Chains A and B, each alone.
Chain A
Amino acid sequence: MNALPPAKGQVIGHSVTRLEDGPLVRGQGRFAADVNFPRQIFMRVVRAQIAHGHLIAINTEAARALPGVIAVWTHADVASIPPIPFRATRLQGLEPYCQPILAAGRVRYAGEPVAVVFAENPYLAEDAADLVLAEIEELPVLLDARLPPAEFAPGTSTEPAIVRKQFGDVDAAFATAFDVVALDLSVGRHSGVPLECRGAIARYDAAHDVLELHGTAKKQHWNRDEIARLLGLRPHGVHLFEGHVGGGFGVRGELYPEDLLVCLAALRLGRPVKWIEDRREHMVATNHSREQHHSLRAAIDAQGRLLAIDAVFHHDQGAYVRTHGARVADLTAAMLPGPYRLHAYRVAGHFRLTNKTPAATYRAPGRFESTFVRERLMDAIAARIGVDPIELRRRNLLASADMPHARQLDALGTDVVLDSGDYAGLLDKSLARFGWDALQAELRARRAAGELVGAGIGFFVEKSGLGPSDGVRISVDRTGAVELVSGAASVGQGVETVLAQICAETLTVDYRAIRVVRGRTDRIEFGNGAHASRVTVMSGSATHLAALEIRAMALATAAPLLQAQPDELTLARGHVVRIAAPETDLMSLAEVAAHMGPGSPLMIGRTPGLTAERWFYSDHMTYPYGVHLAVVRIDRGTGEIRVERYLVANDIGRAVNPMLVEGQIAGGVAQGLGGALFEEFRYDEAGQPLSTTFADYLIPTLAEMPALDVLVAEDAPSPLNPLGVKGAGEGGINGVGAAIASAVDDALRKPGAITTLPILPRQVHAMLPR
């Protein structure tokens, strides 16, 4: 499939600086709040102050009477709009649980939109929103997904689905096991929390009959199609635009009630409508994630080898099913076995609703959670049979010879087939790089001197490159300028640079001269956006294929003009050259493009232009993997955990830009430390959210960052795409909870002490030896 040679290229494999950075360091970015249109008005959402109750009445009179207020809507005004849908899933029966764009008769979480106000300026819109009074008759709240399901609505319970997966004979394995290890574990509720809150700016252009939505991210084409369907418009008359996006992490760019509301208002009110979420809203309105409670048992043999895992977990989805459906529960169930050989597995994931902000994906969804659970289990097995945790893992890791390894499980509707990997090899490299053996001696000496220090490990398998397809169109104009139009999106990770590097490699042009267009439905008909570590795999492969086609077209066009055969020619320095005399530029890509223009005699009867669109298809994901190693010190006085050193080793097949890969990993580690030690959306017993500011929801700062080492490995290229790449977006966060828990156990000298994330100082303090 036109595979790129594994060696470092002219541009691919180099840590070049980013195309994106110029405007961003100059303050010339175009984030959602920077988008303005003449005559725009401002939307403010009135949110439920109560977690669960019947909506008796909403008094909007005082708000309407305020000068400068244009309209106030409640559910009655938007009742014709269907609820927010979810993307395709094999699970049936989720429809009754979707969220209406404004609460319909019942509020189910504090923060749920109950009304919207439109006003001439944002301060006024807030004033008016404060005057809207929602009368709510309180109902009992359900705040723990482990409790028996309650009634969601007549005829439906708060358990929309149970995700079940199984292979092998689990019961037989347990019946004959040498021993059984059982654990109860929990992961707290936290989420992506990007620095830019959400925003949506809609305007209707009657002259062209186009509804535009700006401030979008991640998933423009699906969102466009759904907005059109929900509002009864033709998709060709709806366009989504992505400017700069201040972080995505799973939560940004999903279709939320506010996106529909601004679109509807722009159509009805005849003026551009701008909505910018504030931070307090963000903490209760934008997707939460993670919260799960696991009970699992492992059947083992006398050497600690896994025979079977039997797992039950409760996934706290919050108040509604959102666009991801039950995807996080599905991924948790599918990815829990990780890198280990496993003969039998059974999992039941109870996907349950509670009276909290709805949940969905956050970077490494289902993997941060399941890696924590699985690696806790491996540590527990090691402690049970009395072997070193590293040795225990070695005994269980799948071998290179096992690859590709079909898991007999499906995830996101595709079979899980681990495509390539040398797990034990990377473990060895990581331990050597970290100086693991010397570290053990050093930790013993420090403990002898009275310090509470320990080291821990988390081994992870990621998934990436979700299909089914992505396309890229490359055009070279008669000045030689190259434009690459992609159905991908950018949430700040460096998509433009990476796609330009891949394109430049084949076209032999300066990557900095390539314009990359992404996140726009008006420039390309289809696209699958940026999520699930898919862009470099999918759009990167499509870029490679399209660039190869441009090259072939250029050589075929130039050949007769140069009185040569195409196979005697190649590209160098953006010029057609003879392979036999590569130092002599014969014809520039600009000249070739001019010969291929609509007025060129060469093109009569043909479609003009040095333009090629190519699609890459994939029906299987590709699976990166890696190791996290941590050293922690516990403060005896306070129970505070300091992470002193950290290593992430991550095999991603091929690093198109190592600097960007390392950046992704470092950022993931910081977020992972947040989830492991600091971040949690807490609620009181009435369902009131307690984490609504950055003073309550603690994001790591520079002061919390350990000395970090990143080992980017390219030992196991993916056989599934022409670049050999695997996604690099999520390996940095995946194993942090697992590694930190393992290290804290070690520092406490209490195997299995840590059963919940985040690990808070007061809990650790209570475990300290007196």
Chain B
Amino acid sequence: MTQHHSITLHLNGTAHAVSVEPRHTLVDVIREGCGATGTHTGCEHGVCGSCTVLLDGEPIRACLMFAIQADGRQIRTVEGLAHGTILHRLQQAFIDHHALQCGYCTPGFLMLAAGLLEADPNISDDALQDGLSANLCRCTGYVNILRAVRAVAAELRA
């Protein structure tokens, strides 16, 4: 159980050589091994989506995957969204539309939305709502999260 394995996580374009136990979850290693604490754990059983990251472009629950399974794969987290001081348009839309309160679920929602919009820039509103229903927020009532993501989706369609 405690045997360690050397793996490489490609996090936001940077290679992190980390030593992990097979049982270490991806979210724990992103946070503790790579020091990227923007990805949060909310339930550790795959329901709330606070730990959502993009693995090879797909939104996944980082609490439901072992780090060792992500060896060599491309991972994107909230820390990789902005370009320097320029926020990703989803980040800016979340601010403009008051789509966050406590901000705990926000990184997961941002990565979920980024994944949905990148996979299909012409995503229908129904599909968007369906996709965003995957994650939990306890503060906002989702109204402004939907508003923010819709605004970005509309920009992409334009």
Q: Which residues of A contact B (CB under 8 A)?
A: 15, 17-18, 20-22, 24-29, 31, 33-34, 123, 192-197, 244-249, 278-279, 491-494, 659-660, 662-664, 666-671, 693-695, 699, 701-703, 705, 708, 732
Contact = CB atoms under 8 A, between A and B. Distances in A.
B79 interface: yes
B101 interface: yes
A368 B139 CA distance: 17
Contacts of A494: 101
Contact of A195 (B36, B42, B77, B96): B42
A123 B24 contact: yes
Contacts of A34: 37
Contact of A26 (B24, B79, B98, B140): B79
20 contacts: A24-B106, A25-B91, A25-B94, A29-B104, A31-B37, A33-B37, A33-B40, A33-B41, A123-B21, A193-B138, A194-B102, A197-B42, A492-B103, A659-B98, A663-B140, A694-B47, A695-B45, A695-B47, A703-B129, A708-B141
B152 interface: no
A244 B102 contact: yes
A24 B100 contact: yes
Contacts of A22: 95
A124 B41 CA distance: 19
Given A22-B95, A195-B50, A694-B43, 9 more contacts: A195-B48, A245-B102, A278-B44, A491-B102, A666-B141, A666-B143, A694-B47, A705-B141, A705-B143
B144 interface: yes
B141 A670 contact: yes
A195 B105 contact: yes
Given A196-B104, A694-B45, A27 B37 contact: yes
A732 B143 CA distance: 13
Contacts of A249: 138
**Range, interface on chain B:** 35 or more
A441 to B, nearest CB: 28
A695 B105 CA distance: 18
A693 B98 contact: no
B31 interface: yes
B45 A693 contact: yes
Interface in B99-144: 100-107, 110, 129-130, 132-144
Contacts of A25: 78, 87, 91, 94-95, 100, 103, 106, 110
Nearest to B128: A702
The A contact surface, by secondary structure, is: loop
Contacts of B37: 27, 29, 31, 33-34
Contacts of B103: 20-21, 24-25, 29, 244, 246, 492
B16 interface: no
Contacts of B57: none
B52 interface: no
Interface in B21-75: 21, 23-24, 31, 36-45, 47-48, 50
The residue in B45, B105, B141 that gathers the most chain A C-beta atoms within 10 A of its C-beta is: B141
B95 A702 contact: no
Contact of A27 (B77, B129, B135): B77
